[in-house]
Amino acid sequence: MIEAPNTARAWATELAVCLGVGAVLGVVGPFGSFFNDVLAVRVAYWASVFLVCGLTFGMAFRLLAPKAQRAGLPVWAWVPAMALAAGLPLAGITRLMAVAIWPAIGDSVGRVEWYGQTVVVSLVYVAVFCVLRGRAVPSIDPSADLQRGTPRIFGRLPRRLGQDLLCLSMEDHYVRLHTPRGSALVLMSLGQAMEEVAGLDGLQIHRSWWVARNAVEGVVEDGRNLRIRIRGGVEAPVSRANVARLRAAGWLDDQTLDAPEAGAVGFRAPSG
């Protein structure tokens, strides 16, 4: 199961990998750093460099990726540009770090050369990030839009998940697409996803959930709260603001809504 990117676990995973890659570079000693000092100092330096890269690019990816997706920009068009732009402040930071440990570097390596080395290191981090997070954004199958009237959301579903879309749930800047075969995260807002499910019979039941009508198995009462039970064992909360709309659409039993203390919540199965 792929987790959302803005969680403590996601950040911890990325930064731990950064430290690991930095340690490997400390052993290898790229750009002549092998001859600068003993192993422990090299490892500490490169691990620190990659930790700074991880923090910088981690925030940059999370800030820019949703905007690039909304603008329809392919990864190859904006990620290299981001690496070049972020390389400027990173070059300054890492140069200060290196000079603090090895003062002679300030005279032996020019600023332009240092910037070039920083961009190379940045691209290594970008590759690591794509390996870690690339699976969270399934590629769009262009053939899905060839049939007129087919909801665009189907083009975002990996083939292994099929085309039986049960529901959508929002997680940070991502939307999780649920089918009976599993789920996948797509980098988009729930509002965008709602536009792409146009034509499917379903409703938004909560600010973070959209549910297909044919996926509903029943309704569960939890005190004064309601949850929709979905095929596959998923349960989605119903916001109070949407109860009337669900009742009008025939998803709920009017008698139950009039007597929420009864304990059993009715569900009116979809007709047709």
3-state SS of the chain is CCCCCCCHHHHHHHHHHHHHHHHHHHHHCHHHHHHCCCHHHHHHHHHHHHHHHHHHHHHHHHHHHHHHHHHCCCHHHHHHHHHHHHHHHHHHHHHHHHHHHCCCHHHHCCHHHHHHHHHHHHHHHHHHHHHHHHHHCCCCCHHHHCCCCCCHHHHHCCHHHCCCCCEEEEECCEEEEEECCEEEEEECCHHHHHHHCCCCCEEEEECCEEEEHHHEEEEEEECCEEEEEECCCCEEEECHHHHHHHHHCCCECHHHHHCHHHCCCCECCCCC
Residue 3 maps to a domain: no
pTM exceeds 0.85 for this model: no
- Shared domain for 147 and 132, answered yes or no, is no
Q: In this structure, are 66 and 112 located in the same domain? A: yes
The strand pairing partners of 182, in sequence order, are 179
The verdict on 169 and 132 lying in the same domain is no
Q: Quick one: 12 and 125 in the same domain?
A: yes
120 occurs within a structural domain: yes
Residue 137 has a pLDDT of: 43
Residues 145 and 131 reside in one and the same domain: no
Q: Would residue 1 count as lying in a domain?
A: no
Q: Is residue 2 part of a domain?
A: no
Q: Of 113, 136, 159, which marks where a domain is finished? A: 136
Q: Write down the pLDDT at residue 132.
A: 65
Q: Over the chain (272 residues), what is each successive 10-residue block's mean pLDDT?
A: 63 87 91 90 93 89 77 77 90 94 91 92 79 51 48 87 93 91 89 89 94 91 87 91 88 52 45 46
Residue pair 6/27 in contact by the 8 Å Cβ criterion? no
Identify the burial level of 192 via C-beta atoms within 10 angstroms of its C-beta, where 0-12 means exposed, 13-18 middle and 19 or more buried. Answer: middle
225 and 267 belong to one structural domain: yes
Domain co-membership, 152 together with 251: no
**What is residue 23's predicted lDDT score, i.e. its pLDDT?**
93
Q: How many domains does the chain have?
A: 3
Residue 90: inside a domain:
yes
Residue 159 forms part of a structural domain: yes
Task: Describe the crossing of helices 75-101 and 39-71 by its angle, rounded to 10 degrees.
Answer: 150
Same domain, 161 and 120: no
* pLDDT value for 255: 39
Range of the domain at 248: 201-272
Indicate if 131 and 181 belong to the same structural domain.
no
The verdict on residue 227 lying in a domain is yes
Helix axes 111-133, 39-71, angle to 10 degrees: 70
Domain end marker among 136, 160, 175: 136
Residue type, 197: V
Residues β-bridged to residue 178: 167, 183
The answer to whether residues 125 and 24 belong to one domain is: yes
Residues 126 and 144 in one domain: no
